[in-house]
Homo-oligomer: A and B are copies of this chain.
Amino acid sequence: MIARLDSRAADFTARLAALAPAGEADGPAVQARVGEILAAVEARGDAAVLEYTARFDDLAVDSMAALEVPAERLQVALEGLPAAQRDALAVAAARIRDYHERQLGESWQYTDELGNVLGQQVTSLGRVGVYVPGGKASYPSSVLMNALPAHVAGVEDITMVVPAPGGELSELVLAAAGLAGVSRVYTIGGAQAVAALAYGTETVAAVDKIVGPGNAYVAEAKRQVFGRVGIDMVAGPSEILIICDGGTDPAWIAMDLFSQAEHDENAQALLLSPDAAFLDAVAAAIEELLPQQERREIIAASLARRGALVLTADLDDAVRLSNRIAPEHLELSVADPEALLPSISAAGAIFMGRYSAEALGDYCAGPNHVLPTAGSARFFSPLGVYDFQKRSSIINVSRAGARVLGDVASTLARGESLTAHARSAEYRRDAAPEH
C-alpha cells in the first residue's frame, strides 16, 4: 500500500530514490509536434489557431471573435454562482490579494559620496498571458493564484486562455477570472494558445510573459517560446513532505497525505516521524479512510508508487532529510514549529503547526499555491508579484563622479583590451573639473 522506510537503514537512500518520478518518455515526439504548431501560428496567425481549435478542441468557428469571452461575461458568471461559492471565492481572492500586496517591489535611489545617483526603477510587465487548463483539471483556485499576483503588480492587460472542448466552459473559472482582474479570455488552448500569446496574431496581442499550468504540450510550448517571452517555472508532479512529532491526530495526517495523492498518480506524499507507533497509527488510518475517498483509486496508486512513511532518528534528522529533498509543500506538524523553522533551508511553502493543513494554503490562506517542485525549491521561489515586475538599473554620474569612475573604468577596460570602452570613460574623466 505505502512503503515503510527507516532513515537509518543501509538501503534507505536507494529506496527513497526509487520513489522519484519516472522520466518523460514522449520527449522528442512532443517537441517536434509543438515546434510545428508554433511555426504555423507564427506564420499564419488567427487562421492557424482556428484550425487547431477545430481539430483538437472540437470547436469549429469562423473567426477569433467567436472565441473571445468579454469581460462582462466574467461578471455574469460571478453573479450566477451559488452564494456559498461566490462568497468563498471572494474571501480567497481578498486574502490572496492582501498577502501579495506585501510582495510589491519599490523603486529606490541613493546619492553616493561623489554625487552620483544610483538606483533601481521597478515597473510592472506590460501584458501577461495566463494559461488555464480546460475540462476536468479546470481549477478556479489556479486562476486566482496565477492572475492575482499580476493584477497586484499593476499589469494592465491580463489575457487568459482556456480551452473549451466542445464549447464547454467552467462558470467557476470565468467567475474567478472576473475576481482576479483578467482583462479578456480566449477559449483556446494547447500549444496553439501559447503560440498566439507569444507571437501575437491579428486578434490576440503578444504578451511579455506566460504563466499557468498545462499538459505536456503546453509545457513544451512554453519551454520553446522562453526567451521570446518570459515564462513561469515548468512544474513537475506535486509533492508534500510532512514532519510530525507524533502529536497530531493520525486521521488528519492521513487526510493530508491523501489530499496530495489525489492530484494524480505521480504526486508524492511523504511522512517523516521519529515515532514508530505514530507511523503505525497513520498506516491504520490510511487503511480505514481510503475506501471512503471519492478519488481512492488515484490516491492508492500514488501512495503505492511514490508515497512513504519514514521513521527518522529524531526531528533534526527529519529536517536534514527534508532539506535534501527541498519539498514543494512542507508541513511541520509539531508542537513547536518555530523551533524547526530556522533549520529549514529549502521548501516552497512551510505549513506550521497542526492546524496548518496544506489544503488551506492551496485555496485561501493567502500565499501562492504555485510552488517549485522536484527539488527546485533549492533555487526557485513561489510565484509572486515579483514575477510580474521588472527592474531597470539607474546610473546618473556627476561631473565629480565622472573623474573618479572614468579613471577606474579606463584602467579596467585597458586591462581587458577594450580600448573604446576606455576612451569613452576617459572623455568624461578629462572633461570633469577637479572637485
**Which residues does A use to contact B, with CB under 8 Å?**
84-85, 88-89, 91-92, 95, 98-99, 102-103, 108, 110, 112, 116-118, 120-121, 123, 125-126, 136, 139-141, 172, 208-209, 227, 229-230, 234, 249, 251-252, 255-256, 258-259, 261-263, 293-295, 299, 337, 341, 344-353, 355-368, 371, 374, 376-382, 384, 386, 390-399, 401-402, 404-409, 411-413, 415-425, 427-428, 431-432
Which 8 A/B pairs are nearest by Cβ-Cβ distance? A230-B379, A367-B393, A352-B396, A258-B420, A88-B411, A349-B393, A381-B391, A363-B409
Chain B residues lying within 8 Å of A413, measured Cβ to Cβ, are 359, 362-363
Question: Which of chain B's residues have a CB closer than 8 A to the CB of A432?
Answer: 355
Given contacts A259-B421, A351-B395, A420-B293, contact A102 B110 (CB under 8 A): yes
In the complex, 20 of the A-B residue pairs with CB atoms within 8 angstroms, ordered by the A residue number, are: A91-B404, A95-B112, A116-B365, A125-B379, A140-B416, A208-B379, A252-B424, A255-B424, A259-B420, A262-B419, A350-B392, A350-B395, A351-B395, A351-B396, A355-B397, A357-B397, A359-B422, A360-B405, A362-B421, A381-B390
A209-B379, A355-B431 known; 10 new pairs, CB 8 Å cut-off, are A85-B411, A88-B412, A140-B415, A172-B416, A230-B376, A262-B419, A262-B420, A295-B418, A360-B409, A360-B425
**Nearest B residue to A236, CB-CB:** B227
Give the number of times this chain occurs in the complex, counting copies.
2
In the bound assembly, the distance between CA atoms of A295 and B423 in angstroms comes to: 12
Asked whether A357 lies within 8 Å of B428 as measured between CB atoms, the reply is yes
Q: How far is the CA of A255 from the CA of B419 in the complex (A)?
A: 10
Minimum CB distance partner of A123 in chain B: B345
Complex contact B376–A227 (CB within 8 A):
yes
- The interface residues of chain B lying within 8 Å CB-to-CB of A299 are 420
- Check if A357 sits within 8 Å of B427, measured CB to CB: yes
Please determine whether A102 and B108 come into contact, CB atoms closer than 8 angstroms: yes
Q: Is the CB of A392 within 8 A of B355?
A: no
In the complex formed, the residue of B with least CB distance to A354 is: B428
Contact among B117, B125, B139, B393 with A378 in the assembled complex (CB-CB below 8 Å): B125
B258 and A408: CB pair below 8 A? no
Q: How far is the CB of A297 from chain B (nearest CB, A)?
A: 12
Nearest opposing residue in chain B for A427, CB measure: B252
Q: How far is the CA of A394 from the CA of B394 in the complex (A)?
A: 33
The answer to whether A419 and B293 touch across the interface, beta carbons within 8 angstroms, is yes
- Indicate if the CB atoms of B393 and A368 lie closer than 8 Å: yes
Specify which of B120, B125, B355 is in contact with A428 (CB 8 Å cutoff).
B355
Shortest A307–chain B CB gap in Å is: 13
Q: With a CB–CB cut-off of 8 A, which chain B residues contact A136?
A: 417
Complex Cα spacing A411 to B88, Å = 7
- Are the C-beta atoms of B390 and A380 separated by less than 8 Å? yes
**Which residue of B has the minimal Cβ distance to A298?**
B420
> With the chains together, A108 CA to B366 CA distance in Å?
14
CA–CA, A171 to B379, complex, Å? Answer: 31
Q: How far is the CB of A133 from chain B (nearest CB, A)?
A: 12
- When C-beta atoms are compared, the residue in chain B nearest to A356 turns out to be B397
Q: Are B393 and A348 in contact (CB under 8 A)?
A: yes
Cβ–Cβ < 8 Å partners of A208 in chain B: 378-379
Task: Check A397–B364 contact: CB distance below 8 A.
Answer: no
Set of chain B residues within 8 Å of A346, measured between Cβ atoms: 123, 126, 390, 392
A141 to B408 alpha-carbon distance, docked (Å): 11
Contact B419 A295 (CB under 8 A): yes
Least distance between A232 CB and chain B CB atoms (Å): 11
